[in-house]
Amino acid sequence: MMRKHLKPIPLLFATLLSVSIVSLLLNLTIAQPETDEVVTKVTLNHGIDIKKPIIDISGWQLPSEMNYDALAQQVNGVIVRVQHGISLEKTNAAADKDGQDKAMAKHIKAFQKRGVPVAVYAYIDGTSKAAMRQEAKKFYQRAVKYHPTFWWVDVEEVTMKKNFNQGIQAFREELVKLGAKKVGIYTQDWFVTANQIDVSAFDAVWLAHYGRDTGYWDASPDTDIDYDLHQYTSQGRLNGFAHDLDFNRITNLDAYNKLFNHGNPMN
């Protein structure tokens, strides 16, 4: 059936009324609460894009050469070195005589100030279980005031003539005793196998495996070890720093939430 022709003024009124109704319906639709599933995902994700790299840095990356504002926009998290043991034969550009990383405080404060979650690590070189415990104490004392999201034990070389695995466990146990609630181990899959290191007591595993070390992720560890974090290159590049960076990828969102507290700073 043909509709009646509307006069110009009523037609304009009808058009405006129709637009108003459509706009109202759209607003009502947008204002509807999300489903429980979506809300849960948002709560856990906090807008995290797990494709962004996580970087680990130390005094070798000079604060004076870093544009922290630019870097903070490109990463999901940062892992900062606190110490290289507790006694060095001589000082170097990155650490003091007592092993403490020279840039530790500046790096941590700068990224935390910009809302980037920060974890910490310590390179171990104790030659006995007692020495390992002493290193763990220093590690905790130096970093606890920054409330890191995770504590990492960096294991790259055998420093004890025997019972090296027991020394590593002594370090971990001392950290836990002092109050560290989340302790992980950084190492390589072949190193674990070659030295029969028990990683089962740690809360997370971080493996280094570079592949062709191209600056991009081109290979993954060929291992049965259940790992949460993968260091995949030492030649990553980001705006805000003119030199190479270590890039790490998180295995999944659950691992990110475990290691970096859902993207929130620790209390």
In sequence order, the 6+-apart residues with CB closer than 8 A to the CB of 166 are: 129
What is the model's pLDDT at position 45? Answer: 56
Q: What percent of the chain has pLDDT over 90?
A: 77
* The pLDDT of residue 91 is above 90: no
In sequence order, the 6+-apart residues with CB closer than 8 A to the CB of 116 are: 72, 75, 77, 78
Mean pLDDT of the chain: 85
* The pLDDT of residue 26 is above 80: no
112-123 confidence digits (pLDDT tens): 999 999 999 999
Q: Give the mean model confidence (pLDDT) for residues 50-76.
A: 97
* The pLDDT of residue 188 is above 50: yes
Domain ranges of the chain: 50-263
Confidence tier at 263 by pLDDT (50, 70, 90): low
What is the model's pLDDT at position 8? Answer: 37
Confidence tier at 30 by pLDDT (50, 70, 90): very low
138-181 confidence digits (pLDDT tens): 999 999 999 999 999 999 999 999 999 999 999 999 999 999 99
DSSP string covering 81-98: EEEE-S--SS--SSB-TT
Q: How far apart are CA 57 and CA 60, in angstroms?
A: 7
- 222 or 3, greater pLDDT: 222
Q: Give the mean model confidence (pLDDT) for residues 218-240.
A: 96
CB burial string 90-123: b at 16+ within 10 A, e below: eeeebbeeebbbbbbbbbbebbbeeebbbbbbbb
67-76 confidence digits (pLDDT tens): 999 999 999 9
What is the model's pLDDT at position 266? Answer: 59
* The pLDDT of residue 1 is above 50: no
* The pLDDT of residue 31 is above 50: no
Tokens of 203: 């809360």
* The pLDDT of residue 96 is above 50: yes
* The pLDDT of residue 221 is above 70: yes
* The pLDDT of residue 4 is above 60: no
What is the model's pLDDT at position 99? Answer: 95
CATH code for the part of the protein at 50-263? 3.20.20.80
Query: Burial, 50: exposed, middle or buried (Cβ in 10 Å; 0-12, 13-18, 19+)?
Result: middle
Tokens of 233: 């290159």
Find the Cα–Cα–Cα–Cα dihedral 109, 111, 117, 123, rounded to 10°: -70
Confidence tier at 46 by pLDDT (50, 70, 90): low
Confidence tier at 209 by pLDDT (50, 70, 90): very high
Q: How far apart are CA 145 and CA 109, in angstroms?
A: 11
The whole-model pTM stands at 0.82
